[in-house]
Structure 1
């Protein structure tokens, strides 16, 4: 990190990150890929834990450039020039490291890396020809397999406003879920989680929203742990879907329905006007959302007061100013 956090370190959410993105000179050429967005913006809210799998595997920096090779013995990590094979030390690092990442709430990876790349990694045949372009790096693949609920994103994709907002939202939700599990799973805790996140779920995927409610209607028909595991797997899968403007409009109109009776006609008309302006692309999401939050504060509707859809992450991140 390049600066201290304005909040206590314990208040920040633990998130893993590729070490080169923090400015550490750990890349194969001895350089880095410092992400100022990560160190100057996200570091205010995320307590980053950095790893470089290749350095962790003892390969040093600078080092030979590497790529993935599909062989009769499976996927191998080899030098791009020559036949030196680094698969065993990388696998050893992964085996030694993964269990220690269980407390992380998200992970930001370096793109195009044969160890850290989340997707679109080239795989070569032994003759040097590209056989596919849809692999994950060895560490990234193992991370996502071991922690399927973990929000994972590549730093470059965080330049996309909607992908950035989606990733940060998922990190905060995953943190809430992990806190729930750490405190001890109870029926009330599970219902409470669903209640405060249900409008976020509605915005991301209405079909999942309609399916998960009934799943929680009878918590005695199966062991609670089984229900919780099935629930959160579907929930986090739905949360990874991008929200369309139309889905946000639908969700905001649901919220308006709870506030309607407590608002003046002029206030209600202004909210509808700005929701429509958002739907036409004339204003960002923050405009109608700010009006809804103000209306909730005025009306004091208790059910909406707990809805994380209104405040899914700190306002200081400014994420809804750009979507």
Structure 2
């Protein structure tokens, strides 16, 4: 199966998951006013699949503005969408006022049944936070997100906690990484957009750093699968970005990724957004041209991911290949 990048236009922070033989796609929309979802039995079919609005921001309230980076996750009692939202577009102390919130749907199919607002997911730190993801490992469900800490300079760091329920963390947040290298502090001091992939005896977490223009790039932290994931000492961090702007291929600011698998059920896929031009008029936040892209993820002999360069054309294995 051949795909061309960009894969889906004007959809930033793309999250693709596969469940029971179907693919699900959600992302930030340029208007930042709603949560959307599309589904297809094939990855290629997502590009033209009908997009359903699961929820629209109300006219006022804590989640009424700037709806960012939704992610769809399955839990025992239904489906959840985690997303960041603010009460307004007001900036205080240099930051928007986002907190994490959740939607819930008890149906077997997330494209059917009622979606209800499940409220705020309290991170334990009352400050700007965003980009939550969730994953299960060895019987424990974890919550991993980006968060401003009042005592740490910069916009956001990455934190992890176990989950008591799909909307409540258990125990104090554990700091995993903060912006520290030169490539993480370009324009803004940011670690955000975490995504987890468990392979080859390791728990990998990608994240994105710096301003959301051509300086945006992806980093990597990882822990041994047998280690205590709630112990910061279990985690290692790459001093260099693993995926970044490729001027020759006209791919600028790749980042805020997710992972899925190809239709063969084996090949790992990297899903990310990027722009195909550098010069942005005005604030990059309001530029709609962050497009969803996809390409295979490679692995080296040591079981470490190899991200390579952004690809404009990709060949993906199909079911039964």
TM-score w.r.t. structure 1 length? 0.26
Q: Which has the higher strand share?
A: 2
Q: Which has the higher helix share?
A: 1
Which is greater in Rg? 1
TM-score w.r.t. structure 2 length? 0.26
